[in-house]
Amino acid sequence: MPQVTDLAEVKAFGVTVVHGFKLLFQSRIMAGTIVLLKSAPPVQYLDLNGAIRNFDLPAAASSKDLVFYVRNISAGAFALTVRDAAAATVVSLAQNTFAMVHCDGTTWRVIG
């Protein structure tokens, strides 16, 4: 499933420039731990619904080159723990913070 829509390509000086694209997104109110599928939209807005929650990424071995933008949009001061498939913490997100995570096929890492 493509994660990017409406691409436009322009060739300039031997380089292909991609512009005008839209990233698919998903906004959810959590009721417990979410296990993300690798086919999920790359932008994830998560309301923790009044509790500390876990957000589990897909297995690294089948997720090479995937990138997800994860944002904690909770109204309250609750932390979101983004974990790999083995339940190891990749990043913890406070209220109104975000992270971009990338998989190299072995490990999920925070970008930036």
pTM: 0.81
Output the pLDDT for position 107. Answer: 97
**What pLDDT is attached to residue 60?**
97
The predicted pLDDT at position 1 comes to 41
> How would you label 2-32 residue by residue, b for 16+ Cβ within 10 Å and e otherwise?
ebeeeeeeeeeeeeeeeeeeeeeeeeeebee
Cα separations (Å) of 48 from 19, 27, 68? 33, 11, 18
CA–CA dist 13, 39 (Å, integer): 34
CA distance 46 to 55: 9
